[in-house]
């Protein structure tokens, strides 16, 4: 087990600097254009693939970093560049985590490479959990998966929403209900291979922020997938459902469902994304305050501005520390006994919203225009308190954990 440290190794620093250079030289110059176009920035994803950032190998190296800091460090640097483009680059990772958290070794080896493609033919993947009537309330999920024993196939029907890369993905990972009597404990995850009949893209959403990231509905109309596409396999699913039924008879218990397992693993990473956006806005505001003069002196000489910057930097550093702690705990198998993963996501996402708003205030009228990036950063930051569990849900998870109550 790696000891917790705030000192990056030389190798980690080298990776961080490499990612920062890519974010500065490739992502940032393209940010405003793709935000306006509201389209997937395929050329930027391809550039990321060419240098090795958008690849299974790079993601695996960071994911299995024994310190746990590989993924949050990478996320912070890429999202420092631009949140929308960065999400297009890393969005496939949520589907990959879904397979890693729930799949067999064979499924991991078969499907994750197909999620990324290669530098000459890049692909993306989508994780499909939310539904029009089931966002935070995963127990209300209606998408059904019914097993056709004669053909050893699962038949999926329903509509998913808010899916990053939904409809344009090569591989879709879909969470569906297999036993409606068990609520959220009766869910399972399925791979929908490329070109499967019955899967189509529904509405593509025009969003407030992260506009370079494709977000859409995914419609499943009698989608048939082989039995081998059930993540973890049917034997494991049957055993889990049997335990859940038995426990339910005895008055309830905690069983982690497929969607929650994925979100739990990814929440510190989302916190790191928020830290990257907050840091970017802070740096713009700091430079502006040092160079913008009013009444014959830089505005940073005014306590009203200087104190804001001090609070911004303090909050960013605190958020990063919470993210790093949760990431270290996760990779070393330490349970989140106080919902440390949710803590990191909650504090970092709220920090990003506050810091980007303060950055606009420091820039004044200039901050409100699209001539400066803080306006876009503020729009982008709003998503962190919403996706992968709203701030209200994070507080509920934390409160229930502290009280010793089941997390539902």
| CB contact at 8 A, 111 and 239 | no
Q: Is the dihedral of CA 344, 347, 353, 355 positive or negative?
A: negative
221: which 2 tokens?
Answer: 């109309």
Strand bridging mode 187-192 / 144-148: unpaired
Q: Count Cα neighbours of 313 within 13 Å in the Cβ-side half-sphere.
A: 10
Residues known to be catalytic: 388
CB atoms within 10 A of CB 343: 23
The residue whose two tokens read 């010793």 is 404
CA dihedral 102, 107, 113, 117 (to 10 degrees): -100
Residue 30 CA to residue 376 CA, distance in Å, equals 13
- As a dihedral over the C-alpha atoms of residue 234, residue 236, residue 242, residue 247, rounded to 10 degrees, the angle is -150
Q: How far is CA 109 from the centre of its chain?
A: 22
In the block, tokens 């909050």 appear at 315
Give the angle 332-337-339 at the CA atoms, nearest 5°: 95
Strands 144-148 and 125-128: unpaired
Q: How far apart are CA 322 and CA 19, in angstroms?
A: 22
Residue 144 φ/ψ, nearest 5 degrees? -110, 145
> Residue 274 pairs with which residues in a beta bridge?
none
DSSP assignment of 293-318, as one string? EETTEEGGGSHHHHHHHHHHHHHHHH
Instruction: For strands 171-177 and 125-128, give the pairing.
Output: parallel
Place of tokens 């917790």: 4
Give the separation between CA 1 and CA 347, rounded to whole angstroms.
27
Q: Name the token pair of 123.
A: 């692909």
């Amino acid at each position: 087990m790696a000891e917790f440290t705030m000192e990056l190794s030389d190798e980690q620093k080298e990776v961080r600097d490499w990612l920062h250079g890519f974010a500065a030289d490739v992502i940032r110059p393209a940010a405003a254009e793709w935000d306006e176009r509201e389209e997937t920035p395929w050329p930027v994803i391809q550039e990321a693939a060419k240098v090795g950032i958008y690849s299974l190998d790079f993601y695996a190296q960071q994911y299995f970093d024994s310190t746990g800091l590989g993924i949050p460090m990478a996320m912070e640097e890429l999202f420092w560049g631009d949140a929308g483009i960065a999400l297009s680059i890393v969005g496939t990772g949520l589907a990959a985590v879904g397979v890693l958290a729930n799949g067999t070794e064979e499924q991991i080896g078969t499907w994750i490479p197909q999620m990324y493609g290669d530098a000459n033919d890049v692909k993306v993947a989508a994780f499909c959990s939310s539904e029009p009537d089931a966002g935070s309330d995963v127990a209300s999920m209606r998408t059904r998966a019914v097993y056709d024993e004669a053909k050893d196939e699962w038949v999926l029907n329903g509509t998913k929403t808010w899916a990053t890369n939904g409809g344009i993905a090569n591989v879709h990972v879909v969470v569906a209900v297999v036993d409606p009597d068990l609520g959220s404990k009766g869910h399972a995850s399925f791979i929908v291979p490329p070109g499967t009949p019955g899967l189509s893209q529904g509405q593509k959403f025009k969003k407030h922020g992260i506009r370079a990231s494709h977000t859409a509905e995914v419609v499943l109309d009698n989608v048939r997938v082989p039995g081998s596409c059930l993540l973890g396999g049917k034997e494991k699913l049957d055993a889990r459902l049997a335990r859940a039924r038995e426990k339910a008879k005895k008055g309830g218990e905690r069983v982690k469902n497929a969607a929650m397992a994925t979100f739990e693993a990814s929440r510190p990473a989302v916190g790191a994304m928020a830290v990257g956006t907050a840091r970017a806005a802070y740096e713009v505001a700091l430079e502006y305050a040092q160079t913008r003069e009013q009444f014959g002196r830089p505005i940073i000489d005014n306590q009203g501005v200087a104190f804001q910057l001090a609070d911004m930097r303090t909050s960013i550093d605190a958020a990063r520390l919470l993210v790093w702690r949760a990431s270290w705990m996760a990779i070393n198998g330490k349970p989140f006994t106080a919902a440390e993963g949710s803590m990191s996501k909650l504090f970092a996402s709220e920090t990003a919203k506050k810091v980007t708003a303060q950055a606009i205030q420091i820039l004044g009228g200039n901050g409100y225009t699209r001539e400066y990036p803080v306006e876009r950063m503020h729009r982008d930051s709003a998503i962190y308190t919403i996706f992968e569990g709203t701030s209200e849900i994070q507080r509920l998870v934390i409160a229930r954990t502290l009280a010793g109550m089941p997390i539902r």
